[in-house]
Chains A and B, each alone.
Chain A
Amino acid sequence: MTSLSDPHTTGADPALSRRQSRFWTKFRRSTSGLLGSGIVIFFVVVALLAPVLPVPGPAETDWSAVRKAPSAAHPFGTDEIGRDVLSRMIWGAQASLLAGVVSVLIAVALGVPLGILAGYCKGWTDAVISRVTEALLAAPFLILAIALAAFLGPSLRNAMIAIGLSAMPIFIRLARGQTLAVMTEDYVEGGRAVGTGHFGMITRYVLPNTFPPILVQATLTIATAIIAEASLSFLGLGQQPPAPSWGSMLNIAKNFLEQAPWMALYPGIGIFLVVLGFNLLGDGLRDALDPRET
């Protein structure tokens, strides 16, 4: 977010600093925002602390404890080759969060500049970018991601690229719309009148004002990306064994439903909670950033 002490920004849009303080006040009052933040922070901390937590290694097998029900030794039970499900859940959180964040970063890094370019330049540039966006939006998100992952080859890295590219059109469209709206504002006219160059116009006026909706969309897209990564891994197109991922854990678990239902229960709860966390956080951010909400 733009610094409050930035003389250009404060000079350009004094309403921005007021909006920032209003945002924090509203966000602190938002139950969904706080609950979502809590869930997300919990999973991020768990994923980061994975190497130091007192659990067996995620690939460590124990043939004397194959498909054991949850117990004190293995709180979430063990899988079909005696690996600790809790440990694989913790390490799987890393893969899920990494996939969610990296794929959205890819989508934002490619989509936002293209969207701003379309909205700023208008004319042919806008027409071409908009048509390409429409074409990409026409293929359903997951089918596009599956097709890309299939052609790129199955791996977590390629799954992230596939999800990122599939999510990119949403950000192009959003950034374009925001840029078009910002360009009609009086302060932009003022900036142009004092001779601000294209780069200055974009960094001082367009970017700070397109940031809030992009932040909300990015948070909600992380939720979608986590489900997409889990779906691709479930289909065998994401994280490859023996590396843990919640989706691939579910893929194996479906073969042992009767004998070891816990193998399917916990990874699903993990995906559900982390996705719910990002959805709640996105809702909270949207409410706090919406100028119509008081």
Chain B
Amino acid sequence: MFGFLTLRFLIAIPTIILISIFVFSLQHLLPGDPILVMAGEERDPEVIAALREKYRLNDPLPVQYMAWARAALQGDLGISLRTQQPVLELIAEKLPVTIQLAVMALVIAMLIGIPAGVLAAYKKGTWIDWLANLVALSGLSVPNFWLGIMLILLVSVRLGWLPASGYQPLSEDPLQSIKTMLMPAFVLGTAIAATLMRHTRSAMLSVLKADYIRTARAKGLPERTVLFVHALRNAMIPVVTVTTLIFGELLAGAVLTEQIFTIPGFGKLVVDAVFNRDYAVVQGIVLCTGIAFILMNIVADMAYRILNPRLRDG
């Protein structure tokens, strides 16, 4: 396992370098000269020259990149123009909020998606399977920001059951925190539930055809034991892998969900940064999500090896 992990990390290095080059080059897509914007309306040539020197814009591009990458490696992703806080500090501050939202969304998605997938596979070809597939496809087709708006209208405005927006830290008031996060987590979890349902169904369908399931049935085991102990446990191997890879989808979904429910997390930070032209924050976020996604890929590979004895022993 150690050898496998070392190899995976080594393979990840060039990818991380490429992500950093991409993130670095994003600022060169900006129309016009950013220094002219920073210099204000007066555009004093001395100020412009000083700013060019400060941001090393007179250096060749590879030199600029190396300086930027060196700083990034030391955790310096720049300073937010809006809050004047270091970008990494800002990300670290907002991340726990999004993690809470993502974890709650994932729990909701698993509670809906996995049983629905098992049922659809077990009842393959019946109206239950057809209905589960249609619901899953609908879940994938609903824009989550619209679902959020509609739920606010129904659950908060009309019925008054849950708050429409806001955030309460988990450490301060756990119950209120869960209550405020419930609707956003449901919105974010819907599309994930649909993805999980489809993967569980497909994994269960191939497992249910396996010889050991026929043997289990032939031994006279109750159908529930066959389904949940023998079949589901094996079908979960690819599902667990997919779940770790859903991380990217969760982060992307959080951008819109946090915007609608005014949750001060990672997603809202991206949008606010975009509108405030806080490019260092946008770059920092893309870099951090990219690296986190690569790490999650490694976790998914490890989970697959741990859960699958054939790979573990090999």
Contact = CB atoms under 8 A, between A and B. Distances in A.
Interface of A: 131-132, 134-136, 138-144, 146-148, 150-153, 223, 227, 230-231, 234-237, 250, 253-254, 257-258, 261, 264-265, 267-268, 271-272, 275-276, 279-280, 283
B49 interface: no
Given A235-B274, A254-B149, 13 more contacts: A135-B16, A138-B297, A141-B252, A142-B252, A143-B285, A147-B283, A231-B256, A235-B256, A235-B271, A258-B157, A264-B149, A268-B142, A268-B143
Contacts of B27: 151
Contacts, number: 136
A280 B137 contact: yes
A250 B290 contact: no
A268 B248 CA distance: 24
Nearest to A253: B149
A140 B137 contact: no
Main secondary structure of the interface of A (DSSP, over half): helix
A135 B252 CA distance: 17
Contacts of A231: 143, 145, 255-256
Contacts of B279: 150-151
Interface in B141-166: 141-143, 145-147, 149-150, 152-153, 157
Nearest to B21: A135
Given A140-B251, A237-B274, A135 B146 contact: no
Contacts of A147: 26, 270, 274, 282-283, 285-286
* The 3 nearest A-B residue pairs measured at CB: A268-B146, A135-B18, A142-B252
A271 B137 contact: no
A47 to B, nearest CB: 18
A264 B27 CA distance: 35
A152 B137 contact: no
Contacts of A132: 18
Contacts of B291: 138
B10 interface: no
18 contacts: A134-B15, A139-B248, A141-B248, A142-B255, A142-B256, A143-B285, A146-B274, A147-B26, A147-B270, A151-B30, A231-B145, A235-B271, A250-B143, A250-B145, A250-B146, A264-B150, A268-B143, A279-B141
A236 B16 CA distance: 30
Interface of B: 14-16, 18-19, 22, 26-27, 29-31, 137-138, 140-143, 145-147, 149-150, 152-153, 157, 248-249, 251-253, 255-256, 259-260, 270-271, 274-275, 279, 282-283, 285-286, 289-291, 293-294, 297
Contacts of B157: 257-258
Given A139-B19, A143-B270, A258-B157, A152 B29 contact: yes
The CB with the most chain A CB atoms within 10 A, among B15, B147, B249, B270, is that of B15
The CB with the most chain A CB atoms within 10 A, among B29, B31, B145, is that of B145
A264 B153 CA distance: 10
B15 A143 contact: no
A283 to B, nearest CB: 7
A103 to B, nearest CB: 16
A275 B259 CA distance: 22
Nearest to B256: A231
Contacts of B140: 223, 275, 279
Given A131-B15, A138-B19, A150-B282, A264 B146 contact: yes
Contacts of A279: 137, 140-141
B274 A140 contact: no
A140 B293 contact: yes
A257 B149 contact: yes
Contact of B289 (A139, A258, A272): A139
Contacts of B283: 147
B282 to A, nearest CB: 5
Contact of A139 (B137, B146, B149, B293): B293
B134 to A, nearest CB: 9
B252 A271 contact: no
A146 B255 contact: yes
A135 B26 contact: no
Nearest to B296: A138
Contacts of A272: 138, 141-143, 146
